[in-house]
Structure 1
Amino acid sequence: MSADPATVAAARQVLAHLGVTVADLESDAGVPVSLPTVAEYLPRVIAAAGPGARRTYGTYWERMAAVWGDWPLNRVAASDIEAMKQEMIATARSRRNSRNGRHAGEHVIAAARAFYSRAVADGLIDASASPAHRVAKPRRLPSTRRALTPHELEEINAVARTSGNDVILDALLLRLHTESACRRGGALALRLIDLDRPSGLVRLAGKGTVRWQPITLQRRARPQNAGAPGPSRRSGATFEALMINSFRGAG
């Protein structure tokens, strides 16, 4: 038995007024889904995060779990994240390079955004429902970093050449940083086979990229057994680790 056309038309008008379609009624999309709590979902976020994110955001994720652990994901409001940001700013540890807790506040928002971005990717909430993305991130202040002056660089090299457990290696590593401006991670990943002696190049890896850098370390590397394919010492320690240990020993 077919429905009365007038009844169908009236039903369609009611549905249109409510913002509901027939497809919505036929699917289970409108059925409320029980969302996990912050504490329940956090292990999945951590497992999907990279080492850098875990290192940077781990403290803030733990704080979120401590404060909102038993809250479902959709209960956290933008004002809750803003309040946590202010709390972390107020309790941030003071350091020489600190900026009155500004970085801690930035990291709270970034950590919350990473958390809720994962929830959006998993289909647990809609992108528009993320409270973290409704909190404005403070604008970054200009960096206070600067290059070492020639005098400062000379003093550092003088100390490295006259103290420590391996002054030759220390001087070699400082020369590497001076010539290549490589990051600590680039030096940590450096192997002797990354030296292209005929071309005077060194292969540096860091931040997901690989580059060849002109270098004058060939003659300096020879006393350190530069022809070997592995680390500079039989212990398997890397260049940078040996340098750090040398400076610790000198301190």
Structure 2
Amino acid sequence: MTGASAAELEAARLLLARMGISPADLLNMVPRTLAPTFAEYVPIVSATVSDGTRRVYGSYWNRVLKRWGQRRLDEVSASDIERFAEDVKRGVVVRRNARGGRNAAAHLISALRCLYRLAVSDGLIPHDANPAAKVAKPRQLPSTRAAVGNDLLTQINAVASSTGNDPALDALLLRLHTETACRRGGALALRPVDLEPQQCLIRLREKGETVRWQPVSPTLMRYLQQHAQQRGAPRSGQLLRYRNGRPITRRRYDYLWVRLGQHLPWVATQQISTHWLRHTTLTWVERRHGSAVARAYAGHTDAGGDRGVTATYVKASLEEVAAALAGLTGEPHPLASDLP
């Protein structure tokens, strides 16, 4: 192959000059780095995110590996992701509380958004080449969860405390969630070191790595201390345990609500779960003490949005949360006595 002619070289120089590119720019060009495959990058993302994020998205990343493991991140388009989400919707296991696979599709898209956000931050793909950001998640349907009436809640507690292989544990779980409106993750993360008996406070660590002190009744504090002592919970280890000292997991909640549904058919029919207790308590607090106290009781830290700018400034104190708890349980609380 012969070299370029003088005329061709001159034409090339003229074209580069018009484009504002010098021959030195061409010599200093950095070769484009190929984007990694999903098989190479998913383990990196999984090791980077929090335990909670990994628990939610891990199964979806496994699906991505199965489908696209050897494809590179920049070889997947927005339409590929949309087809994948539709396949996930159609393949979801149908249950009584199923919502047409919408949640599964939304979780897949969220898992891919998480992965691609990190890829953009790592400089592996350009920001405007993120395909997951171009795919809309399915519109979320209104929740079917609601507050549980007093009579029904009494029935739930009666069955939990009189049936099963560890009624004392299940009764404690229900009381903990009813008093604090905490999530399952917050209860499972509770440690003996998180108990502050003098002021009747427990330290809750929940999703989004949030940490807050939550008032509890003197009775619940006493039960939590007794449970930790009797079941050998280490001071910095998980508090909630089986009789043999083994820490409980989310499976205990599944077992509890299946059992409750066997004794109380309406529990199974409505698919009532621990999160319904959160709705129940927060609804009661909001009706009697207002939205600011309910937000503080729930541990919500976001401000503004649909509630307006005023919510940024109107915040409830820990003493006000304690006063709401005292009204809920009918027990005096040390912090509530400090209110005027």
TM-score range, shorter chain: 0.7 to 0.9
CA distance in 2, matches of 1:100, 1:139: 12
Give per-residue Cα distances to partners, 1:76-123, cap 9 Å, x unaligned: 111111110111111111122221010111122112212222221221
Q: Is the 8 A contact 1:109 1:137 kept in 2?
A: yes
Bigger mean CA offset, 91-100 vs 41-50: 41-50
**Compared CA separation, residues 112 and 12, structure 1 to 2 (3 A):** same
2:135 corresponds to: 135
Residue 75 of structure 1: how far off its partner (Å): 1.4
Residue 181 of structure 1: how far off its partner (Å): 0.9
CA distance in 2, matches of 1:193, 1:52: 21
RMSD: 3.3
CA distance in 2, matches of 1:157, 1:8: 83
Q: Is the 8 A contact 1:116 1:130 kept in 2?
A: yes
CA distance in 2, matches of 1:43, 1:203: 32
CA distance in 2, matches of 1:141, 1:186: 26
CA distance in 2, matches of 1:112, 1:135: 10
Give per-residue Cα distances to partners, 1:54-76, cap 9 Å, x unaligned: 22222222222222222222211
Give me the TM-score of the superposition, normalised by structure 1.
Answer: 0.79
How many equivalent pairs are there?
239
CA distance in 1, matches of 2:254, 2:11: 85
Residue 40 of structure 1: how far off its partner (Å): 2.4
1:148 corresponds to: 148
CA distance in 1, matches of 2:146, 2:193: 32
1:100 corresponds to: 100
CA distance in 2, matches of 1:247, 1:13: 70
Residue 222 of structure 1: how far off its partner (Å): 4.1
Bigger mean CA offset, 192-201 vs 58-67: 192-201
**Compared CA separation, residues 98 and 213, structure 1 to 2 (3 A):** same
**Compared CA separation, residues 21 and 119, structure 1 to 2 (3 A):** farther
CA distance in 2, matches of 1:35, 1:219: 57
Q: State the AA in 2 paired with 1:162.
A: S
Q: State the AA in 2 paired with 1:199.
A: Q
Partner of 1:96, secondary structure, is: coil
Q: How does 1:39-54 map to 2 (within 5 A)?
A: 39-54=39-54
Q: Is the 8 A contact 1:77 1:131 kept in 2?
A: yes
CA distance in 1, matches of 2:68, 2:148: 45
CA distance in 2, matches of 1:86, 1:97: 19
Residue 231 of structure 1: how far off its partner (Å): 5.4
CA distance in 1, matches of 2:15, 2:254: 80
Correspondence 1:15 to 2:19: yes
1:122 corresponds to: 122
1:81 corresponds to: 81
Bigger mean CA offset, 96-105 vs 196-205: 196-205
Equivalent position to 2:232, from 227, 234, 237:
234
1:110 corresponds to: 110
**Compared CA separation, residues 192 and 96, structure 1 to 2 (3 A):** same
Residue 158 of structure 1: how far off its partner (Å): 0.7
Bigger mean CA offset, 235-244 vs 96-105: 235-244
Identity over aligned pairs, percent: 44
**Compared CA separation, residues 21 and 62, structure 1 to 2 (3 A):** farther
Give me the TM-score of the superposition, normalised by structure 2.
Answer: 0.60
Partner of 2:203, secondary structure, is: strand
Residue 193 of structure 1: how far off its partner (Å): 4.2
Residue 246 of structure 1: how far off its partner (Å): 9.8
2:210 corresponds to: 209
Where do 5+ consecutive residues of structure 2 fail to align? 1-9, 243-247, 260-340
Partner of 1:204, secondary structure, is: strand
Correspondence 1:25 to 2:26: yes
Q: State the AA in 1 paired with 2:139.
A: R
Q: State the AA in 1 paired with 2:18.
A: V
**Compared CA separation, residues 41 and 24, structure 1 to 2 (3 A):** farther
Residue 46 of structure 1: how far off its partner (Å): 1.9
Give per-residue Cα distances to partners, 1:21-72, cap 9 Å, x unaligned: 778535324x332332222222222222222222222222222222222222
Partner of 1:85, secondary structure, is: helix
1:3 corresponds to: none
Where do 5+ consecutive residues of structure 1 fail to align? 1-5
Partner of 2:148, secondary structure, is: coil
